[in-house]
């Protein structure tokens, strides 16, 4: 999957749990960064407004580990960490244009 961040490709493999248009827990796998260990899973949740979701994370004590970035053909993504150190993603699908 292409990432505009740093202008190149990232090792990422998408996973789908069901046909398009049906509820499911879709996600993906990516190569673990050499500089940190990820000892948990990384969930990504769909949000209607990525900017509002990012501000809510910050307002509630979380941090943004990856700023808003476009994943072509998928949507706007931001990576976050909650107050207990759990990582998660926020995804605003392409059909919901970012402001």
Q: pTM value?
A: 0.62
Parse the chain into domains and list their residue ranges: 2-93
How confident is the model at residue 2, as a pLDDT?
42
Residue pointed to by tokens 């490709």: 9
Distance of CA 41 to the CA centre of its chain: 12
CATH number of 2-93: 3.10.180.10
How confident is the model at residue 54, as a pLDDT?
98
- Return left, alpha or beta for 54; rule: phi > 0 is left, psi -120 to 50 is alpha, else beta: alpha
Q: Going residue by residue through the chain, which has 99 residues, state the pLDDT in tens, using 9 for 90 and above.
A: 444 445 556 677 777 777 777 766 677 766 666 776 655 566 888 899 999 999 999 999 999 999 999 988 889 999 999 898 888 899 998 875 555
How confident is the model at residue 50, as a pLDDT?
96
How confident is the model at residue 10, as a pLDDT?
63
Distance of alpha carbon 92 from alpha carbon 88, whole angstroms:
14
């Amino acid at each position: 999957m292409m990432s505009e961040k740093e202008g190149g490709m990232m090792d990422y493999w998408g996973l789908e749990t069901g046909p398009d248009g049906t509820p499911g827990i879709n996600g993906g796998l990516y190569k673990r960064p050499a500089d940190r260990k990820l000892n948990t899973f990384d969930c990504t949740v769909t949000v209607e407004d990525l900017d509002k979701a990012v501000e809510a994370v910050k307002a509630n004590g979380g941090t943004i580990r990856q700023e808003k970035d476009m994943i072509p053909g998928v949507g706007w993504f931001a990576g976050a960490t909650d107050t207990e150190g759990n990582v998660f993603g926020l995804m605003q699908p392409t059909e919901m244009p970012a402001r």
